[in-house]
Amino acid sequence: MESTDRALVTDLQRLVQRLNALPDTREPQTTPLGASIQEHLGVDPRALPVTREQVSPHRLVDTDIALAALAAADPDARLIGVSGGMERHHEDLQNLLAHRYTTFAPGPVEYVTTATGPSTTRQTVSFGIHLFRFDGSPVAVLVRNASQMFGRESVTLEIAATDEAVSTRLVARLHEVMNERSVIRGNVVSFTSDEFGNGIGALTFLARPEVGPGDVVLPDGVLDGIRGHVIGIGDHAERLLALGQHLKRGVLLYGPPGTGKTLTVEHLLTSTPGRTAILLQGGSLRFVAEAARLARAMAPAMLVFEDVDLVAMERGMFGGPQPLLFEILDALDGVGGDADIAFLLTTNRVDMLEPALAQRPGRVDLAVEIPLPDAAARRTLLALYARDTALTTAALDAAADRADRVTASFAKELVRRAALRAALAGHELGDADLATALDEMLDSAASITRALVGGGDGEDGSDSDGTTAMSFGSFGHQPGM
Ligand X SMILES: Nc1ncnc2c1ncn2[C@@H]1O[C@H](COP(=O)(O)OP(=O)(O)OP(=O)(O)O)[C@@H](O)[C@H]1O
Q: For ligand X, which residue of 145, 182, 187, 262 counts as binding (CB under 6 A)? A: 262
Q: Provide DSSP, 187-206.
A: SEEEEE--TTS-TT-EEEEE
Task: Assess 263 for contact with ligand X (CB under 6 A).
Answer: yes
Residue 281 binds what, of Mg ion, ligand X, none (CB under 5 to 8 Å, by partner type)?
A: none
CA dist 308 and 297 (Å) reads: 23
Helix and strand numbers, DSSP H then E, in the chain: 17, 16
CA dist 288 and 330 (Å) reads: 10
Residue 218 binds what, of Mg ion, ligand X, none (CB under 5 to 8 Å, by partner type)?
A: ligand X
Length reported for the chain: 481
3-state secondary structure of 225: helix
Q: For ligand X, give the closer residue by CB, 316 or 373.
A: 373
- Can you give the binding site for Mg ion, defined by CB under 5 A? 261-262
Q: For ligand X, which residue of 186, 199, 257, 473 counts as binding (CB under 6 A)? A: 257
User: Least distance (Å) from ligand X to the CB of residue 359?
Assistant: 24
Q: Which residues contact 458 (CB under 8 A, 6 or more apart)?
A: 444, 447, 450
User: Least distance (Å) from ligand X to the CB of residue 461?
Assistant: 20
Q: For ligand X, give the closer residue by CB, 170 or 216.
A: 216
Residue 473 binds what, of ligand X, Mg ion, none (CB under 5 to 8 Å, by partner type)?
A: none
Q: For ligand X, give the closer residue by CB, 189 or 304.
A: 304
Please give the torsion angle defined by the CA atoms of residues 85, 91, 96 and 102, in that order, rounded to the nearest 10 degrees. -50
User: Least distance (Å) from ligand X to the CB of residue 255?
Assistant: 6
Residue 67 binds what, of ligand X, Mg ion, none (CB under 5 to 8 Å, by partner type)?
A: none
CA dist 319 and 315 (Å) reads: 5
Residue 263 binds what, of ligand X, Mg ion, none (CB under 5 to 8 Å, by partner type)?
A: ligand X
**Window 361-400: contact mask with ligand X (x via CB under 6 A):** ---------x----------x-------------------
**Window 182-221: contact mask with ligand X (x via CB under 6 A):** ----------------------------------xxx---
Q: Which residues contact 65 (CB under 8 A, 6 or more apart)?
A: 122, 177, 178, 181, 183
Q: For ligand X, give the closer residue by CB, 24 or 220.
A: 220
Q: Strands (DSSP E) along 56-119, which ranges?
A: 78-83, 98-99, 105-107, 110-117
Number of residues that bind ligand X (CB under 6 A): 17
Q: For ligand X, give the closer residue by CB, 187 or 281.
A: 281
Q: For ligand X, which residue of 51, 116, 187, 259 counts as binding (CB under 6 A)? A: 259
Q: For ligand X, give the closer residue by CB, 189 or 217.
A: 217
Residue 258 binds what, of Mg ion, ligand X, none (CB under 5 to 8 Å, by partner type)?
A: ligand X
User: Least distance (Å) from Mg ion to the CB of residue 262?
Assistant: 3
Residue 408 binds what, of Mg ion, ligand X, none (CB under 5 to 8 Å, by partner type)?
A: ligand X
For 88, what's the count of Cα atoms within 13 Å in the CB-facing half-sphere? 25
Residue 409 binds what, of ligand X, Mg ion, none (CB under 5 to 8 Å, by partner type)?
A: ligand X
Three-point CA angle 212, 213, 216, nearest 5° = 100
Long-range contacts, stretch 145-148, CB < 8 angstroms, 24+ apart: 145/57, 145/60, 145/112, 146/57, 146/60, 146/199, 147/89, 148/196, 148/199
For 468, what's the count of Cα atoms within 13 Å in the CB-facing half-sphere? 8
Task: Assess 67 for contact with ligand X (CB under 6 A).
Answer: no
Q: For ligand X, give the closer residue by CB, 309 or 330.
A: 309
CA dist 41 and 134 (Å) reads: 12
CB atoms within 10 A of CB 355: 10
Chain residues binding ligand X by CB under 6 A are: 216-218, 257-263, 307, 348, 370, 381, 408-409, 412
